[in-house]
């Protein structure tokens, strides 16, 4: 706080949990102490993994004020996520959406006819597909705020324009994004890490490696990708290409080519 030149933090997150059991009584006691001391106002956690389960668990705790989670036009479609978001809203938990563009670990391909039609429809309304993806999150009433990476003025200007624009998405545009999510699901890791990690006996946190690939390919940030990858245990990085991913591929709801992507990660990020 001295470095930040402030005497308190409005919202304090425990970053990147993978299960609600990680929010232990020790965190509850610490949060209460810090609130009493006036050091923080609100307390919660962020998650890229098993988001629906983490949200559902948070809704049952009376000391979680806010959660920041991966939430976009892809993951919002599942009944599990919809139920978890509703449960948090009912419990008074503030929800902050991140990773709202729905980028995945695969490199972008040539746009299909369906995607081109969708882009054309958005452009006729005066906004881009990226702005539409922000709008679909903003128009979810349970979402309190949106966290969007804006590394340059072009993206900043586009996001500001989308935020100030009062044009609402039509039902057909929601449907276009839903259909696009279905057509391209094999290009996107939905963060349900418990499924693939169990399938490989806990040997590799597959969705964390997928996130590194996303940073590299879709975000265009190789250093961030390598830094995040380097944060994984060395034993995990060493065994990345030696694990049998066949069961994980069979279990993956998105039908990702996990083995191929893990090989690519080992080559690109080491």
What's the chain's average pLDDT? 94
Contact 256, 249 (CB under 8 A): yes
Concatenating the DSSP letter of every residue in 134-161 gives HHHHHT-TTEEEE-----SHHHHHHHHH
Q: 94 in helix, strand or coil?
A: strand
pLDDT recorded at residue 50? 97
Strands (E), 93-244: 94-98, 143-146
CATH 3.20.20.100 domain span(s) along the chain: 9-186
Report CA-CA distances (Å) from 34 to 24, 26, 60, 116.
16, 12, 22, 51
Question: pTM for the full model?
Answer: 0.91
The pLDDT tens digits for 60-109 are: 999 999 999 999 999 999 999 999 999 999 999 999 999 999 999 986 66
* 9-186: CATH superfamily: NADP-dependent oxidoreductase domain (3.20.20.100)
């Amino acid at each position: 706080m001295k470095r930040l030149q402030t005497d308190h933090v409005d919202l304090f997150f425990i970053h990147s949990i993978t299960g609600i059991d990680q929010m232990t009584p020790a965190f509850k006691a610490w949060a209460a102490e810090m609130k009493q001391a006036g050091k923080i106002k609100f307390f919660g956690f962020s998650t890229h993994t098993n988001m629906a389960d983490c949200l559902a668990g948070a809704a049952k705790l009376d000391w979680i004020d806010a959660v920041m989670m991966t939430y976009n036009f892809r993951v919002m479609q599942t009944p599990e996520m919809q139920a978890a978001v509703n449960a948090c809203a009912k419990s008074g938990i503030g929800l902050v959406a991140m990773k709202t563009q729905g980028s995945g670990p695969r490199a972008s391909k040539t746009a299909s006819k369906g995607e081109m039609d969708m882009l054309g429809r958005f452009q006729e309304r005066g906004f881009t597909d990226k702005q539409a993806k922000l709008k679909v999150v903003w128009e979810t009433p349970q979402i309190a705020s949106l966290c969007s990476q804006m590394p340059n003025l072009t993206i900043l200007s586009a996001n500001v324009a989308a935020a100030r624009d009062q044009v609402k998405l039509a039902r057909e545009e929601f449907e276009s994004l839903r259909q696009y999510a279905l057509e391209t699901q094999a290009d996107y890791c939905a963060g349900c890490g418990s499924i693939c990690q169990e399938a490989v006996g806990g040997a590799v946190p597959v969705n964390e490696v997928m996130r590194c690939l996303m940073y590299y390919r879709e975000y265009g940030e190789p250093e961030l990708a390598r830094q995040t990858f380097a944060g994984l245990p060395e034993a995990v990085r060493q065994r990345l290409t030696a694990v049998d991913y066949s069961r994980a591929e069979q279990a993956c709801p998105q039908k990702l080519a996990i083995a191929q992507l893990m090989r690519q990660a080992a080559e690109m990020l080491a």
